[in-house]
């Protein structure tokens, strides 16, 4: 089989037939490059789509033999495929070039690129920054790990790209080719894929390689870049900013977004709520300024942008109890951010709904904000018992049979002024197709309690 592939000059393999793999196929087809597909699943979900669109492309399906990729010049690796896969390890050792969609995209992009990563908040910042660019009347391509795969965004008419990157996508990045790079925060995530926080941290920091400007969170030491002084840096944070950086200033009892000593707008006028979202707003301003976006247009966007679905989304207020959908809170760090964000501004306590697949996380990190802000935790899903054990002694805990059961119990225990917060701190795949379905289930359950 390999001899035939080499003879027909099909020297590129795409590993993985998900959204990224198909975007790579569309891109390679558009520039006249041949390729083959490889997927370790015998029946990938999008197999019929691939066969229909690429009837002449060879498919290598099922468990990978270790020598499967040795006959290729380069392999485009989808982010869902671990680089520890033996076939990829063997290929790399034999000099086969492993690349991701990031490298293909950066090679072709003709407009400035902003790349954004972080354990939490990156989708909000990416989307918000895209809206800011549109307010400046720029043609902008927004996507990557969020929404449209970046290779599908390539368009010579675009004047700016805003790209969200996951740690998986960053693992193969060696040069961001002059992009403006932002690292929002780092907290343990995907510990089922990484050997530890250090390895995850190293993947995230690859976003700084070859960047022309870098933005980091000065309140999170793990985001501090180790770069030469020739690379221009600035920062954001929820404290008082230094000259040229973004933060908060108190003036006569009112908080203001600020750049250095310049007050920009009152925090109260920012449409997205919660202190974690104020940090996201500051990050977007810092990245937008680095890209030359007009400040007034960015500030006007902050007054109207209300956030993404399932990311601290206000669903309803019932009997003066607010229901918040943060189904995208798929790791402990995201849930801590949501608890602090709403707990800091809540006169009453929170009722936390959490649970799912824990991804081998340390749930003890939830203890401090739960003890401070949460009056009850309603836990469901595969690792509910693990979370319950970690929270023992911090708050009242109830184990629930389902998300619907958790909402019903939260509703029954909520008092006027409370906030019911779905922020699972877990992946959703034990019970749902993804965080979106989990969020919709929560919203339907909220509606059911008043039906």
Q: Which residues are catalytic?
A: 122, 145, 190
> Tokens at residue 23, please?
């975007």
> Tokens at residue 85, please?
């896969």
Query: How far, in Å, CA of 285 to CA of 235, rounded?
Result: 10
Burial of 9 (0-12, 13-18, 19+ CB in 10 A): exposed
Give the torsion sign (CA, 167, 169, 172, 177).
Answer: negative
- Cβ atoms within 10 A of the Cβ of 46, count? 14
Phi and psi, residue 313, nearest 5°: -90, 130
> Tokens at residue 80, please?
């869902």
Beta bridge partner(s), residue 255: 250
Phi and psi, residue 199, nearest 5°: -70, -40
Query: How far, in Å, CA of 417 to CA of 196, rounded?
Result: 40
302 alpha carbon, distance to own chain's centre:
20
> Tokens at residue 274, please?
């919660």
> Tokens at residue 39, please?
């997927």
Query: How far, in Å, CA of 313 to CA of 325, rounded?
Result: 5
> Whose structure tokens read 């954004």?
116
């Amino acid at each position: 089989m390999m001899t035939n592939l080499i003879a027909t000059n099909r020297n590129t393999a795409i590993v993985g037939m998900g959204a990224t793999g198909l975007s790579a196929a569309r891109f390679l087809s558009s520039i006249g490059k041949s390729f083959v597909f490889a997927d370790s699943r015998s029946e990938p979900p999008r197999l019929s789509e691939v066969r229909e669109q690429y009837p002449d492309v060879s498919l290598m399906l099922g468990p990978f033999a270790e020598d499967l990729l040795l006959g290729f010049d380069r392999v485009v690796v989808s982010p869902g495929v671990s680089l520890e896969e033996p076939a990829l390890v063997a290929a790399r050792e034999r000099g086969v070039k492993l690349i991701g969609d990031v490298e293909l995209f950066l090679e072709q992009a003709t407009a400035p690129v902003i790349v954004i990563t972080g354990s939490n908040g990156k989708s909000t910042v990416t989307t918000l920054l895209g809206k800011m660019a549109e307010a400046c009347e720029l043609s902008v391509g927004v996507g990557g790990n969020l929404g449209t795969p970046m290779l599908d965004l390539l368009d010579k008419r675009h004047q700016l790209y805003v790209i969200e990157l996951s740690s998986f996508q960053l693992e193969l990045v060696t040069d961001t080719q002059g992009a403006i790079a932002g690292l929002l925060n780092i907290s343990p995530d995907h510990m089922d894929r990484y050997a530890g926080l250090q390895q995850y941290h190293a993947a995230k920091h690859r976003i700084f390689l070859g960047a022309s400007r870098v933005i980091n969170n000065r309140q999170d030491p793990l985001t501090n870049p180790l770069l030469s002084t020739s690379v221009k840096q600035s920062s954001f944070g929820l404290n008082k900013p230094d000259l040229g950086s973004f933060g908060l200033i108190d003036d006569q009892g009112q908080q203001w977004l600020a750049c250095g000593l310049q007050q920009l707008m009152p925090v109260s006028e920012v449409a997205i709520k919660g202190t974690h979202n104020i940090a996201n707003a500051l990050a977007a301003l810092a990245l937008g300024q680095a890209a030359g976006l007009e400040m007034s247009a960015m500030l006007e966007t902050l007054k109207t942008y209300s956030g993404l679905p399932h990311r601290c989304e206000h669903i309803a207020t019932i009997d003066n109890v607010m229901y918040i959908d943060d189904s995208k809170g798929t790791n402990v760090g995201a849930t801590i951010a949501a608890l602090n964000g709403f707990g800091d501004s809540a006169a009453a306590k929170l009722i936390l709904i959490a649970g799912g697949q824990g991804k081998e996380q340390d749930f003890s990190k939830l203890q401090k904000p739960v003890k401070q802000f949460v009056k009850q935790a309603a836990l469901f899903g595969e690792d509910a018992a693990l979370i319950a054990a970690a929270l023992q002694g911090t708050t009242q805990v109830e184990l629930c049979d389902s998300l619907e059961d958790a909402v019903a119990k939260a509703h029954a225990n909520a008092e006027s002024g409370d906030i019911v917060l779905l922020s699972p701190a877990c992946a959703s795949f034990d019970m749902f197709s993804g965080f979106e379905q989990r969020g919709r289930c929560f919203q339907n359950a909220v509606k059911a309690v008043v039906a």
